[in-house]
Amino acid sequence: MLTFAQSARRWIEPLLNLRAGGEVRVRFLTPATDPAAELGLLPAPPDAFVDYLAPNWHVRELATEELMTTAGQLRQGAREVLLSEAFAQSVAAAQGLISSNQVFDAAAGLVISEEICRIAAAKPMQSGGEIYAWQILCDAPLPAG
């Protein structure tokens, strides 16, 4: 089993290092820090966000055949994104999350080449009981403007 775990890690690293499909950032909305705005006494500030740039990634557009298996949950142009577990752990630490499992549930979305997409599903890729990467399915992106 150890050999399989090592080979799984070996194939994902070169794939992520290709950085195919455009720059990937994980976006989080920042909470309002003014108590008056939280109570509704003052107008809410414009949406503020913080992005975490992934050091390596792999992005590809899902084929029509793959979209048909999602039962209409994703639109044409949906993307599959692969990110490393090390990156997910660093984002979790920066956001004060307990584990990398919470990162993609808490994120507002992924920014791929200046377009934002909603995270539809995030699945850990694991081998030997250890997570080594994340497979994220995103709906078709919209301009991040």
CATH number at residue 86: 2.40.10
Average pLDDT, the chain: 81
Euclidean distance between CA atoms 21 and 108, whole angstroms: 20
**Least reliable range by pLDDT among 5-9, 12-16, 108-112, 135-139:** 5-9
Residue 12 included in any domain: yes
Domain housing 59: 2-31+48-143
- How confident is the model over 40-81, as pLDDT tens digits? 555 555 567 899 999 999 998 877 776 666 656 776 778 889
Residue 79 included in any domain: yes
Residue 39 included in any domain: no
- Total of domains in the chain: 1
- Where do we find the tokens 């995103």? 138
- What b-and-e string marks burial along 8-35, b requiring 16 or more CB atoms within 10 Å of the CB? bbeebeeebeeeebeebbbbbeeeeeee
Residue 123 included in any domain: yes
Residue 42 included in any domain: no
Torsion angle of C-alpha atoms 39, 41, 46, 51, degrees rounded to 10: -30
Residue 67 CB neighbour total at 10 angstroms: 18
Residue 93 included in any domain: yes
pTM attached to this predicted model: 0.80
Q: At a CB cut-off of 8 Å and minimum separation 6, what does 7 contact? A: none
Residue 43 included in any domain: no
Residue 138 included in any domain: yes
